[in-house]
Amino acid sequence: MSYAETLTTNLQAVKEFVEIGWQEAPPSRVIPELISVFNESHRFRDSYTFFFDEGGFYMLDEDKRTSEVKKIYVRNAIERNSLPGRAEAEILDKLEAWFGQNEEGKALWVAPPRPNDRYRPGWKVIFHQIDHTANGEKVLIHGVDLFNARNETVLSLIREFFPETQNLNDLEALRSNLIIPDATFDQAELLKKIKEIDPNALAINQKLSESELLERATYISELIGSGADSMFVTYEMQRLGLIGEHAISCAGGGKTFSELIVEGLGMEDQYGSLEFKCAKCGGINSRPFGQLISNCQHCGANVRC
């Protein structure tokens, strides 16, 4: 797409985000979403932390009705029905097994573009590192770098750095291949090669400082919370530099594992919006990731489709 087409698509996507879920979500959820839009549309690295227990990797989220911080298990939040979704779910299984067996280490994988999807960014290289919090809890930190390249170029690059992938000729096989690099692997060199392939990738010199970004995201979240018109909010985001020139993933359908890492929890899963209005009483219902509810949480009316 041209710059003008991408900008138009991004503005429409953000307008839909405001209308579909952000207006009903607490600031604790909206602000990270706004920052993610900024990072994704500028090709800045985004990163998240996964915690781990007997149920597997999980992220933390705030319940809108109770303000209670709750666990969202990654395996319950990702889409597994499409071919990319199933392949990336294999990565999640492999990561959980690897994480459980090691106290330190790094891993990475490469996710090709989704087939026939012109809205989503191109390739993703996703780095994982086992780390420990200040209180000694083991966590998984990961960062994503987005870039555009021809399939053959990426396959050649991966084979150059990881000879064990020589026999991987199918893109979906590459998608489900978790790489555990040896001690000689130079991450900086790989990123340098990616930058040579796509000069727009790895935009590490952000236009906004962390404090500026947080201040602007907070302002926008307050606008959304006040009920401001969705198009006005969208143009304010554009004016403040929160919407960049690279494509934003559009809402809908549910997220594959790599999309969840790039975009965070978001406001939708494979069943649609997590926040919806009861047709009978007008109350806003909030349902868990990957689960449907039968009755309105306010009046008890049947809300199953």
Check pLDDT > 50 for residue 119. no
Asked whether the predicted pLDDT for residue 256 surpasses 60, the reply is: yes
pLDDT at 288: 55
Q: What angle do CA 54, 56, 61 make, to 5 degrees?
A: 110
| Bridge partners, residue 72, by sequence | 59
As a whole number, mean pLDDT of residues 261-267 equals 60
Of the ranges 24-28, 192-196, 227-231, 294-298, which one carries the lowest mean pLDDT score? 24-28
| pLDDT in the model for residue 205 | 47
Q: Where are the beta strands (DSSP E) in 249-291?
A: 268-269, 272-273, 275-277, 284-286
Residue 116 pLDDT class (50, 70, 90 cuts): low
Per residue in 36-68, pLDDT (tens digit) is 788 778 766 555 688 999 999 998 766 555 667
Beta bridge partners of 60: 71
Between 97 and 263, the higher pLDDT residue: 97
- In terms of phi and psi (left: phi > 0; alpha: psi -120 to 50; beta: otherwise), the region of 161 is alpha
CA distance 15 to 13: 5
Q: Please tell me what DSSP assigns to residue 295.
A: B
Confidence (pTM): 0.64
Rounded Cα distance, 276 and 288, in Å: 12
Distance CA 155, CA 158 (A): 5
Query: Tell me, what's the pLDDT at 136?
Result: 87
Q: Please state the φ and ψ torsions of residue 171, each to the nearest 5 degrees.
A: -65, -40
Q: Rounded to an integer, what is the distance from CA 23 to the centroid of its chain?
A: 20
Confidence of residue 145 (pLDDT cuts 50, 70, 90): confident
CA angle at 30 for the pair 26 and 35, rounded to the nearest 5° = 155
Confidence at 252, pLDDT banded by 50, 70, 90: very low
Average pLDDT of every residue of the chain = 81
The pLDDT assigned to 79 comes to 85
Contact 126, 254 (CB under 8 A): no
Asked if 38 contacts 242 with a C-beta cutoff of 8 angstroms, the reply is: yes
Which pLDDT score is estimated for 141? Answer: 87
